[in-house]
Amino acid sequence: MFTIKDIIRITSAENIYCDTSVKIDAISTDSRSIKKNELFLALKGEKSDGAKFIGEAVKRGAFAAVTEKQDEVSAQIPVIRVENTLKALSDLAKAHRKKFHIPVIGVVGSNGKTATKDMLAFILGKKLTVLKTQDNLNNKIGVASTLLRLRNEQIAVIEVGTSFIGEIEYNSAVLAPTVVITTNIGLAHLKGLRNREGVLREKMAMVKSLDKRGVWIRNCDDEMLLKENYEDIRIIDFGIKNKRADFKAENITQTAEGMEFFLNGKLIKLPLLGVHNVYNALAAITAASLFMDISKAGNVFAGFEGTSMRMEAVNCDGFTIINDTYNSNPISFECAVTSLKEYKSKGKKIICCADMHELGENSEKFHYDCGSFLAQAKAADFLIIFGDKALFIGKGAIDNGMDKNHIKVFTEKKDIQPFLRQILTKGDTVLIKGSRSMKMEEVVDCFTTYSVH
């Protein structure tokens, strides 16, 4: 991958007294997973300093370490000192990326990035060797670390997220994408991006990084994205409502197993719930069509397994739980509610929801609007609420016609499970949703431990 001399040059590091011709085959930022002869890059964050774990990395076989200049480190291996370890990581990833003349697909958007990335990598994997982002490691560290894993792959699918202005521009410079997928522009990470216009500007930074040979794959049902046009790059549209879509889903139906739709007269079966996942599937199919003949790929999603805790339908003993606890924002909340409404259930439908975080100064209004949407959609018979902000979901629901006697508020998460035991009967469907930090999967865990009456 790199020699010590390369690392010193790329990171503008201080020279060290060792054999600089020695080759480093891999770089790790986690001392626990370091392997023999790898380089340990000690990231320094707000709460922890990786330099403290150089000793552990040495014990596990690290050949050398990169740390910041101000760190006083005593180690039995060569230590390369740099001004900023995160920048060093990005610089190394950028240099490594330049060695590979392969298509690199960047996936951005407020919702659906991980699902789109996983679907696309699955389809491409039928023909090509694919490097993809693991889980949703889509920040500066995750993007750089993923690129450093590039070896003999023929194509890369990289998810890129953001929490603040400039993060996508930073990662785009490292990634140098040849294709960009933009799933949508929604209300997410508003604490750092302020409003939807700020979200749009941030997401478009990756599109603007494309050169004239680049391809932008765009959700043309998103009005904000539709207004963005660039004459110098190729634009391919996907959608459901807009007639201009190059890839348009038609005759969409939701079954107990997932979604079904037609694309150019061909039936597509997707083992995931929700119309929003049809959009993700369209984005993936559109991108895959650039590199393979989709019409000859058979049922492109046969054998595909969705990401855990994202609209994951689990058949329990007598009822169904829809586990959508990975994260939540207003758009994904409404998508989940719509999916529940369309879900064929023999019993009552229950929504158990918690706070949505990082929504900025209008957080209470966004929660209230979600409650309004829920009530007006008449998607649920009962609403369970957990969290201070989620109280406004309840208020929005009551103000828009939901019976307050069908709403239950909890201040302790542990009390939700006993209550569910009391009200669940066979044939019921429960949707559970909340932001990642609310850890609503802890409520899900109880469902496999008891039978309903």
Taking only the tens place, the pLDDT of each residue in 258-276 is 999 999 999 999 999 999 9
Contact 140, 90 (CB under 8 A): yes
State the pLDDT at residue 345: 86
For the chain, domain boundaries: 2-85, 100-296, 312-448
- Give per-residue pLDDT as tens, 120-148: 999 999 999 999 999 889 999 999 999 99
CATH class of the 2-85 domain in this structure: alpha beta
Q: Who has greater pLDDT, 313 or 208?
A: 208
Mean pLDDT computed over every residue of the chain: 91
Q: What is the pTM of this model?
A: 0.90
What is the CATH T-level fold of the domain 312-448, as seen in this structure?
Protein-Tyrosine Phosphatase; Chain A (3.90.190)
For domain 100-296, the CATH architecture is: 3-Layer(aba) Sandwich (3.40)
Query: For 92, how many CA atoms within 13 A lie in the half-sphere containing its CB?
Result: 34
**Could you identify the residue written with the tokens 């007639």?**
243
Residue type, 100: F
> What is the arithmetic mean of pLDDT over 426-444?
92
State the pLDDT at residue 452: 46
Say yes or no to pLDDT of 188 above 80: no
Closest by CA position to 440, among listed 360, 295, 328: 328
State the pLDDT at residue 72: 61
Residue 163: CB atoms within 10 Å: 13
- Give per-residue pLDDT as tens, 394-404: 999 999 999 99
* Bridge-based pairing state of the strands 320-324 and 312-315: antiparallel
State the pLDDT at residue 450: 46
